[in-house]
Amino acid sequence: MGNGLKKTFKRLEDLTSLKNDVLRRVDLAEQQQLQRLDQVQSWISRVETIETEVDEVVNDGTQQIEDLCCGGCCSKNYFSSYKYGKNVAEKLVELAALKSKGELFEEVALESLPAAVVNEISIDCGHGTYG
């Protein structure tokens, strides 16, 4: 359990650093009146969600460690330990996938399309001019 948590912490630190780098690039682009890409916003939201989920896993890990017996070699509840270990493994995979995706962002923002220009046309219907 301890090694899985250490790997999870390390991957989360790496992912958080990457998220901060991407956010700096986004902020710089937005200062230049560029618009954030939807896929970048989606990725940032997902990273923020997994940061919260990993915090919950870590809190659960503290309880799992307290539930060990025989000098930390055995669990009092094998099913709970299995579910926890599986959850940690899934988070490790998710963290790696998000980091890989974030490293692929060459562009984080594009030029905004200008607002549509509407020309007003006057129409004379015999009862006055409209428009």
Check residue 115 and give its pLDDT. Answer: 58
Check residue 76 and give its pLDDT. Answer: 65
Give the tens place of pLDDT for each residue, 72-121.
556 666 677 788 889 889 999 999 999 999 999 999 999 876 655 666 77
The domain ranges of the chain are 2-106
Give the tens place of pLDDT for each residue, 11-62.
999 999 999 999 999 999 999 999 999 999 999 999 999 999 999 888 877 6
Average pLDDT score over residue span 120-125 = 71
- CB neighbour list of residue 69: distance below 8 Å, 6 or more residues apart: 75, 76
Strand-strand pairing, 68-69 and 74-75: antiparallel
pTM of the model: 0.73
Check residue 67 and give its pLDDT. Answer: 60
Phi then psi for residue 47, to 5 deg, are -65, -45
Contact 82, 67 (CB under 8 A): no
Instruction: Evaluate if residue 71 carries a pLDDT over 70.
Output: no
19's enclosing H/E stretch is helix 2-31
The Cα-based distances of 61 to 41, 94, 118 in angstroms read 30, 18, 60
